[in-house]
């Protein structure tokens, strides 16, 4: 298992397939300078292959809204990976990833974390295919028992790979 993070400015999102053609697959996009969901909804449906996305939650953009937006986007383009960070710190990042993961599973969600309290919350229809939700821990990505460690890092591209 591997995942490549590719940093792209909003002005270049239309060129992502060309810019990432040499990247190992799958590619997760970290879009700067614009709204990633809106930009990917506009351009992503025409892209071949499957994609990932790096997103940040906050008090103003809570994980429930991210789950809604990612679910909607997944019906427009092939989306297999989501890496969640939270601007409030590590504990909030872990909690936000847990909320997003639960909200993308397709059933009612009841849970209380430091970032959200949900009671029978739903997010229908579920994504058409499973989306793997990761969170960052130092130089690794974590999703349940799976861990990807950083293999290389550059200004626009970083690679994460499984140790096993």
Asked if the model's pLDDT at residue 23 lies above 90, the reply is no
Mean of the per-residue pLDDT values of the chain: 95
- Beta carbons within 10 angstroms of residue 45's beta carbon: 12
Torsion over CA: 21, 27, 30, 31 (sign): positive
At residue 111, the pLDDT reads 97
Q: For the whole prediction, is pTM greater than 0.85? A: yes
Distance between CA atoms of residues 119 and 28, nearest Å: 31
Asked if the model's pLDDT at residue 25 lies above 80, the reply is no
Give residue limits of the domains in the chain.
Answer: 2-162
pLDDT band at 164 (very low <50, low <70, confident <90, very high): low
At residue 106, the pLDDT reads 86
Q: What is the pLDDT of residues 61-84, one digit of tens each?
A: 999 999 999 999 999 999 999 999
Give CA separation, 18 vs 27, 49, 79, 140, in Å: 12, 13, 18, 27
What is the pLDDT averaged over residues 102-125? Answer: 95
> For the chain, what is the total number of helices (H) and then of strands (E)?
4, 10
Which architecture, in CATH terms, is 2-162?
Alpha-Beta Barrel (3.20)
């Amino acid at each position: 298992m591997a995942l490549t993070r590719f940093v792209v400015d909003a002005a270049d999102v239309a060129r992502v397939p060309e810019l990432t053609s040499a990247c190992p697959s799958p590619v997760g996009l970290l879009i700067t300078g614009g709204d990633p969901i809106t930009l990917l909804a506009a351009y992503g449906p025409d892209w071949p292959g499957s994609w990932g996305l790096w997103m940040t939650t906050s008090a103003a953009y809570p994980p429930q809204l991210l789950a809604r937006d990612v679910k909607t986007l997944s019906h427009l383009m092939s989306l297999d990976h989501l890496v969640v960070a939270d601007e409030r710190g590590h504990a909030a990042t872990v909690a936000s990833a847990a909320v997003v993961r639960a909200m993308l599973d397709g059933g009612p969600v009841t849970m209380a974390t430091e970032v959200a309290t949900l009671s029978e919350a739903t997010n229908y229809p579920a994504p058409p295919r499973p989306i793997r939700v990761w969170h960052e821990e130092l130089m690794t990505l974590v999703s349940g028992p799976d861990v990807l460690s950083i293999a290389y890092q550059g200004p626009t591209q970083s690679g994460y790979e499984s140790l096993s």
